[in-house]
Amino acid sequence: MKKRWMLAAVVVWMIIGVGVVNAMKPEPDPDKLWRYITEVSAYDSWGFWGDHVGLQAGGAPHGPFHKVFVNKLGLDSKKPPVRYGTLIVKENYGDEMGRDLKAVTIMYKVKGYNPEAGDWFWVKYSPEGKAEKFGRPQGCIDCHASMVDQDYIMVHGFGAEEE
Spatial contact of 123 and 108, defined as CB atoms under 8 Å apart? yes
Helices (H) and strands (E) in the chain, counts: 4, 6
User: Per-residue pLDDT for the chain (163 aa), expressed as one digit of tens each?
Assistant: 666 555 555 544 544 443 334 446 899 999 999 999 999 999 999 999 999 999 999 998 999 999 999 999 999 999 999 999 999 999 999 998 888 999 999 999 999 999 999 999 999 999 999 999 999 999 999 999 999 999 999 999 887 554 3
Which of 156, 57, 124, 53 shows the shortest CA–CA distance to 97?
57
Q: Which pLDDT value is given to residue 85?
A: 97
CA distances from 61 to 3, 58, 105, 152 (A): 59, 9, 11, 16
Q: Which domains does the chain have, with CATH numbers?
A: 27-150 (3.50.70.20)
Q: Which pLDDT value is given to residue 4?
A: 58
Spatial contact of 68 and 98, defined as CB atoms under 8 Å apart? no
Whether the pTM exceeds 0.85: the reply is no
Q: Which pLDDT value is given to residue 65?
A: 96
**What is the Cα–Cα distance from 22 to 89, expressed in whole angstroms?**
20
Looking only at the bridges linking them, the beta strands covering 87-93 and 56-57 are unpaired
Which of 78, 52, 77 shows the shortest CA–CA distance to 66?
52
**What is the Cα–Cα distance from 97 to 63, expressed in whole angstroms?**
13
Q: What phi, psi does 6 have (nearest 5°)?
A: -65, -45
CB atoms within 10 A of CB 78: 10
Looking only at the bridges linking them, the beta strands covering 101-109 and 87-93 are antiparallel
